Amino acid sequence: MNDFEKSKIWSDRFISEIKRNLGEVFIVVASFEDDTGYNTDLIMPNGDRISCRIRGYDYLKRYGNEATFRMSRPSGVKTELEKMMEGWGRYSFYGFANREGTGLERWFILDLNVLREYIKNLKQLPELHRNPDGTTFWAFNVWSIPGFVVDSSENANVQRRASGV
């Protein structure tokens, strides 16, 4: 192994931390208008919009491989699914809080373009679920739609262990 290769291996162990720091600087929180009108919680430097949804720990055991998207609200306000189907949002960060509510136990980065195409090509609509507050939603198993999961905490943990980070 030459000196460059040794140096590269040494410096690459810091990549995950560098990426976290760059994200803190360059990924910005969306405005209230972007959030409520355009399915956007975060905006990347290239303009890609990211929606974010975190569910409580109590949902993890039963629904840990699902992503849900509201179909309707009693108020008639446009839902994230409607905004997403209009083309807003490129990715969705979907996670479950840890037991203490201080961090994330599981998360997925989801490709909303893949979900849009999947929904457009459905022969039959999924079962519509209803919450006690009157909202309705669709639930999707994230692993059942090819290409939907861009990355996940499971993949990240495997990558971190493999690289020694």
Q: Could you read off the pLDDT tens digit of each residue along the chain, which spans 165 residues?
A: 888 888 899 888 888 888 889 999 999 999 999 999 999 999 999 999 999 999 999 999 999 999 999 999 999 999 999 999 999 999 999 999 999 999 999 999 999 999 999 999 999 888 899 999 999 999 999 999 999 999 999 876 544 444 444
Residue with tokens 């976290």: 20
- Count the Cβ atoms, other than its own, within 10 Å of residue 115: 23
- Check if the beta carbon of residue 85 is closer than 8 Å to that of residue 91: no
The CATH number given to 30-163 is 3.40.210
**Domain ranges for the chain:** 30-163
pLDDT at residue 1 in the model: 86
pLDDT at residue 107 in the model: 96
pLDDT at residue 53 in the model: 95
Q: By C-alpha distance, which of 130, 91, 131 is closest to 111?
A: 91
pLDDT at residue 6 in the model: 87
Pairwise CA distance, residues 110 & 131, whole Å: 23
Pairwise CA distance, residues 60 & 55, whole Å: 8
pLDDT at residue 155 in the model: 75
pTM of the full predicted structure?
Answer: 0.85
- Check if the beta carbon of residue 49 is closer than 8 Å to that of residue 88: yes
- Rounded to 5 degrees, φ, ψ at 118 are -60, -50
Contacts of 19 (CB under 8 A, 6+ apart): none
pLDDT at residue 160 in the model: 44
Classify 71 as helix, strand or coil.
Answer: strand
What is the 8-class DSSP label of residue 144? G
- Write out the two tokens for 59: 């949902």
